[in-house]
Amino acid sequence: MAPQWLERGDATTSGVGDYEASDHSRRHGNLLRVGRVAEADYPKGLIRVAIEEDEESGEALLLTDWIPWLTQRAGKDRFWWAPEVGEAVVVMAPSGEISQGFAMPGAFSTDYPQIEDKETIQKTQFEDDSIIQYDREAHEYKIDLTAAQGRIVILVQEAQVEAQGDVNVTAEGNVTVTASRIDLNP
């Protein structure tokens, strides 16, 4: 079937002809598009997004140019958490020009579903099952690296730990304290 072009005229298109109407329609459709990260150039902070994929082969039918992704902060204080290949993103394109767009990562999908079901929990779960979590209802902050057999390293000039209740230290292995002087109950 041949395409139906809009005739230029105030009555039908407010003076907008077929080219202008097609361009307007394309731009409008490109303001927000959902896709998956297809490629990443982490040193440059850019990704390419497959917006449309062939259902059978999974091959990208529409691939963006290299575009940046949104982050929490990108000024004097900066935050880095790169979207990964295969992750669902939303491409936002001002004026509908995808080449000028940027990606917003973090859309849950069937491949990567949500990891929690309570609104009072803020949780980050890494691929190796390490967890950083705060539960504001239970007032508990938890860092769990046991699944990855990880370790925590904190480097500071000076440290102070204050507890209004008991402090318990439990280790299945040895506890080593190295200092020029150790005062207990001074």
Domains of the chain, earliest start first:
20-113 (2.40.50.230), 115-159 (no CATH)
Query: Which parts of the chain are beta strand (E)?
Result: 32-41, 46-53, 60-63, 88-92, 102-105, 121-125, 131-135, 140-144
CA angle 129, 151, 158 (to 5 degrees): 130
Q: Which residues contact 68 (CB under 8 A, 6 or more apart)?
A: 45, 46, 47, 102, 103
| Helix (H) / strand (E) containing 26 | helix 18-29
CA angle 58, 70, 90 (to 5 degrees): 35
Which tens digits make up the pLDDT trace of 103-157? 999 888 888 899 999 999 999 999 999 999 999 999 999 999 998 888 889 999 9
- pLDDT above 80 for 18: no
Which residue in this structure is represented by tokens 């900066």? 78
> Which whole number is the average pLDDT over 35-56?
92
Q: Is the pTM higher than 0.75?
A: no
